[in-house]
Amino acid sequence: MGRTCNVIVGGTLPITGISSANANLTLKLNGTTIASAAAVNTISNTPVITTGCENKVMLKEMMVVN
């Protein structure tokens, strides 16, 4: 699933990731971790965009097994 957003350099990009169940979540921007949390179902961050290019956001999820 993808979404296009136009953000100027120096602007911010609010990001929220949602999991269907509690998991260890990591948000990445251009391969760099910008937030991580354990045993949650949402994660958020508002990074400042520093590069004028196509930025890539990724949500990594590792399920918590009890």
11-46 tens-digit pLDDT: 999 999 999 999 999 999 999 999 999 999 999 999
3-state secondary structure of 12: strand
Is 23 part of a structural domain of the chain?
yes
Whole-structure pTM value = 0.84
27 Cβ partners below 8 Å, 6+ apart?
A: 15, 17, 33, 34, 35, 36, 43, 44, 45, 57, 58, 59, 60
Number of domains in the chain: 1
Is 54 part of a structural domain of the chain?
no
Is 19 part of a structural domain of the chain?
yes
Is 39 part of a structural domain of the chain?
yes
Confidence of residue 66 (pLDDT cuts 50, 70, 90): low
